[in-house]
Structure 1
């Protein structure tokens, strides 16, 4: 599942705790001409599966049309919903595997590779990544020394979006500490508008809340260990972060509709409740991709909607939690060569420029000109994510096995939804998380 305007200095990476850090070239250079124009793939059809819906899907289809214009190949996009691994596994078993999958979790890339489902990316794609991406993004797509995934879309999940009108009415300004943010939240609530809209119906925003608190409060070293289950979820640092998050969840008056309302609010609605025509809250926390949802509401980012970096917790460093969506080629697809050509195209700055101009997108590709971002806010964010280089900590739940960190209705998503429903016992929630994590990592 999922960058910011003014990023704080990125946390230095002591080790990104990826499965592997080396990369290897693929077995074929299929697709080396994909971005060169012509009709070299006329008559081919590439089936692409991904989680995107709404504005994101519409924007990605513009990118796919760019591929068609460049190569002559047609494309067919299939939405998987959030349960990517389950849906793709079913399609492979049924002999209906797509050619390319846009995978939103590092853990799922690793799972697919370990299951033998993936085609190594070609040496042409490898060369593009080596030249135009920070090493961290190549590491994210590498499993046991082999490059399998191309990170096309990046995100910064350390941004808090707010209504300038709501802040002005309450007499508050963007905070620089978590404690001040909670104080301001109370002030906004006292002014007659709930402080936050929380997309609790979708479990993944809740994992992002936890991860930002944990990274800042417990530090990057513990973050890396927990991401790889090298420390247990019952560790005191986890209980402390859950306690901090639970103290917020307990305050029903700070949340639009209270906890019950949050559990019935999906991510797009959480944005609409702040920036729609009938606002119910002054802030919503999520990644830079909120800007696309704001624009779909016909509101202007930078005027009607602004954000501040997720603030430092308990004297720690401001967190920099990143995410991204990676393209992989399935070896059971019907047209692997055309699929590889699409991934080669996605590695080009031309492909990224299409979505950059549409909004709601940033690329980790440093060859994408900043002028391609028509939104000045996203232009600054894109520069920050590229400048951060190896300093981004990847979304923790996206690094976990899908059964724990990436599946609706189970694992971390479901457990944190239950915690939102009843935040009274952080230690018990930590134990439940540990039980689910231990099972998933053993599997």
Structure 2
């Protein structure tokens, strides 16, 4: 499972307010919606014409695993049904640019790849791997996407990608029974979050399950704190490395994050436990064990719902959600996405991009849960429950007023590589949250090398 790291966008402050109200308003009921068929799926009349590709074989690469991969495979099956093509999913590893480079060097690139970072798309274009989208896919983009999402899939003014998947990554999911047992309410500010964490831990349930083994989750923690505390202008500057990671604003954000990470009793398994916990486990251990789970809360995006579905907990009753608390004057909303890019100049690759840009494809995966589409033509009823439906509505309501996730904008060597760059520096910080200056120095040294300045 990789973000989406799902893939991360900064929504407008107005959309944040809407997301908070909608999300909290949806928490009162629902069982995940699996017992009711959602409209907008494959059984409806197709909204996009696709060519016949009888006998053509395609490969699609992405870093998705587990339920996320399984649900995407259902989309590919529908594409096969409509076109007669045969499609194989190829599991990729992070960093995906390195994975694709080895495939291309071996003369066997996949037809289409879904890239979880803007930096990966830029690299694919610079390496002359990517093919511009064809007129049919472009027509779907023009029909179904806001200008901002189209711009994110373009390099140098040429459209190369289709943002198939998005994610709101400013959400904290919580175990309703654990909160009730401790008498805790969802916090709206960082100070309230720390108070709630103290109460939860004192009640015998560690407050937070942190997926420290996956460095990308730690970049999300930092980005939410930084955006809310330092503000969007500083966020933009740091994302472009126009200010250094030794800037005082970074010091403040790390110090704030250390208020949570520095309390061993707040973390499930303490710092060492957090550092050995991968993302899927961080979710499942929060929603097993009744009112005495391994932790009461887990931070991450809407796609957490996919992993909750692997437990007995039900989204909307046992598993509830609140927006990431405000650290500064305004609460953050960070999201992102996976962009589909053709790596072969084939009819089949372009047809698949066209399908992925349609509402038909997105509706199929939306019904399965743990998926949000930036495609504004997707019927909200396709989402399986009110929580995910309203998260999707808030994303669409943001229009073009968003920024993309900071680490995903960075060169992959800094923002998207396991055991290196930002991922490693923040893992070291989780192990020793008191070393703010050392963390800043390491981040700046790695950033300067990766950005070439």
Aligned mates of 1:34, 1:79 — CA distance in 2:
29
Are the counterparts in 2 of residues 34 and 341 from structure 1 also a CA contact under 8 Å?
no
2:312 to 298, 305, 320: 298
Shift of 1:198: 0.2
Gaps of 5+ in 2: 18-45
Alignment partner of 1:73 is 2:85 = yes
Aligned mates of 1:85, 1:125 — CA distance in 2:
23
Where does residue 283 of structure 1 map in the other structure?
Answer: 297
Alignment partner of 1:397 is 2:402 = no
Q: CA offsets per residue over residues 79-129 of structure 1, 9 Å max, x none?
A: 112221110111111111111000011111111111211101112222221
**C-alpha distance 373-138 of structure 1, shift in aligned 2 (>3 A):** same
Where does residue 270 of structure 2 map in the other structure?
Answer: 258
Where does residue 186 of structure 2 map in the other structure?
Answer: 174
Are the counterparts in 2 of residues 34 and 342 from structure 1 also a CA contact under 8 Å?
no
Aligned mates of 1:298, 1:67 — CA distance in 2:
32
Q: CA offsets per residue over residues 353-407 of structure 1, 9 Å max, x none?
A: 1101111111000000111112221111111100011223211111111010011
Where does residue 234 of structure 1 map in the other structure?
Answer: 246
Shift of 1:241: 0.5
TM-score of the aligned structures, taking structure 2 as reference length? 0.89
Where does residue 352 of structure 1 map in the other structure?
Answer: 362
Aligned mates of 2:348, 2:373 — CA distance in 1:
23
Q: Secondary structure at the match of 1:393?
A: strand
Aligned mates of 1:381, 1:239 — CA distance in 2:
31
Where does residue 319 of structure 1 map in the other structure?
Answer: 332
Alignment partner of 1:112 is 2:124 = yes
Are the counterparts in 1 of residues 16 and 394 from structure 2 also a CA contact under 8 Å?
no
Aligned mates of 2:396, 2:407 — CA distance in 1:
22
Q: CA offsets per residue over residues 161-193 of structure 1, 9 Å max, x none?
A: 001111111111111101100110010000000
Are the counterparts in 1 of residues 12 and 401 from structure 2 also a CA contact under 8 Å?
no
Are the counterparts in 1 of residues 219 and 422 from structure 2 also a CA contact under 8 Å?
yes
Q: CA offsets per residue over residues 283-335 of structure 1, 9 Å max, x none?
A: 0000110011111223211111011000110x3211011110110011xx3x6
Aligned length: 417
2:374 to 344, 364, 367: 364
Are the counterparts in 1 of residues 119 and 409 from structure 2 also a CA contact under 8 Å?
yes
Shift of 1:425: 1.5
Aligned mates of 2:437, 2:152 — CA distance in 1:
32
Are the counterparts in 1 of residues 130 and 342 from structure 2 also a CA contact under 8 Å?
yes
Shift of 1:7: 9.4
Are the counterparts in 2 of residues 151 and 364 from structure 1 also a CA contact under 8 Å?
yes
Where does residue 14 of structure 2 map in the other structure?
Answer: 9
Q: Secondary structure at the match of 1:151?
A: strand
**C-alpha distance 8-303 of structure 1, shift in aligned 2 (>3 A):** farther
Aligned mates of 1:417, 1:167 — CA distance in 2:
28
Aligned mates of 2:421, 2:347 — CA distance in 1:
36
Alignment partner of 1:137 is 2:142 = no
Aligned mates of 1:423, 1:64 — CA distance in 2:
44
Where does residue 19 of structure 1 map in the other structure?
Answer: none
Q: Secondary structure at the match of 1:274?
A: coil
1:84 to 75, 96, 119: 96
Shift of 1:11: 7.1
Q: Secondary structure at the match of 1:352?
A: helix
Aligned mates of 1:393, 1:306 — CA distance in 2:
26
Shift of 1:428: 1.5
Aligned mates of 2:370, 2:210 — CA distance in 1:
20
Where does residue 423 of structure 2 map in the other structure?
Answer: 413
Are the counterparts in 1 of residues 131 and 160 from structure 2 also a CA contact under 8 Å?
yes
Alignment partner of 1:161 is 2:173 = yes
Aligned mates of 1:82, 1:171 — CA distance in 2:
41
Gaps of 5+ in 1: 13-32
Q: CA offsets per residue over residues 390-439 of structure 1, 9 Å max, x none?
A: 22321111111101001111110111011111111212211110110111
Are the counterparts in 2 of residues 41 and 338 from structure 1 also a CA contact under 8 Å?
yes
Shift of 1:45: 1.0
